[in-house]
Amino acid sequence: MRKTLGWFVTILTPLVVLMLSVRLLITPVFAQVEYRMPGFPDDPYGFTLEDRLTWSAPSIIYLVNNDGIDYLGDLTFEDGNPIYNENELSHMEDVKTVVTGMRIALAISVLALLGVIILAVKQGWRAELLLAFRRGGWGTLGLIGAILLFVALAFDQLFTWFHTLFFQDGTWMFYTSDTLIRLFPIRFWQDAFIAVGLFSLIFGGLLILLTKPKGKKLNPN
């Protein structure tokens, strides 16, 4: 049972770290920083920095609030035209479904890890628990290293795989003149993947450091 729970922790840890890192980026703060990054592309159709800041904030907040799609559907430009068209709104609903599923999975996973920690402490399995988290830390570094390698060598392919995995074909493709692309061009997502990777590497590295054995080597047997 100790070994089984240990490997459960090891396997679950990288997934929790990855989901936590993604969740940290679903905030208007990331967009505020990203739009000001050197070399971030201007909108060829005329959005200013202020426009992007204005319209990206509710778009991101929608993904983690309890409102329906009317939260975005009711947004309009000064001329009265809607910010998003029907296809964009439909995609945003799909994105919110994915984000909500991730948040639920993250909460359940964290509770599961806490349950194992409590059990391990009560049963005196501290050494096995530390070893499990340490393996999880190394697993996180390996997983994120592979993802960052894909970002560097074949981001377009990785981006396509990601959308194919979570969304129906054709529902996530838009014109460059659509608001979603103007607010969140491909550079935005490239940097988002990198930021998630960096957060995850930090968390994974901290796990390795915090679970470093002192004195005798950890022995799961």
Q: How would you write the pLDDT of the chain (221 residues) with one tens digit per residue?
A: 788 889 999 999 999 999 999 999 999 999 999 999 999 999 999 999 999 999 999 999 999 999 999 999 999 999 999 999 999 999 999 999 999 999 999 999 999 999 999 999 999 888 999 999 999 999 999 999 999 998 999 999 999 999 999 999 888 999 999 999 999 999 999 999 999 999 999 999 999 999 987 755 545 44
For 71-90, give one letter per residue: b (16+ CB within 10 A) or e: bbbebeeeeeeebbeebbbe
- Asked whether residue 217 is domain-assigned, the answer is no
- Tell if the pTM clears 0.75, that is, is over it: yes
Whether residue 215 lies inside any domain: the answer is no
Q: Which residues of 173-199 are buried (b: 16+ CB within 10 A; e: fewer)?
A: ebeeebbbbbbbbeebbbbbbebbbeb
Tell me the backbone φ, ψ of residue 132, rounded to 5 degrees. -65, -45
d(CA 102, CA 129): 25
Residue at 94 is within a domain: yes
Asked if residue 91 is part of any domain, the answer here is yes
Answer whether residue 219 is part of any domain.
no
Number of domains in the chain: 1
Residue 189 lies in domain: 2-210
- Give the whole-angstrom CA distance, residue 102 versus residue 195: 18
In a domain, 77, yes or no: yes
Taking only the tens place, the pLDDT of each residue in 59-91 is 999 999 999 999 999 999 999 999 999 999 999
Does residue 92 sit within a domain?
yes
pLDDT value at residue 215: 58
Rounded to whole angstroms, the Cα distance separating 176 from 81 reads 18
Question: What is the crossing angle of helices 126-166 and 86-123, to 10°?
Answer: 170
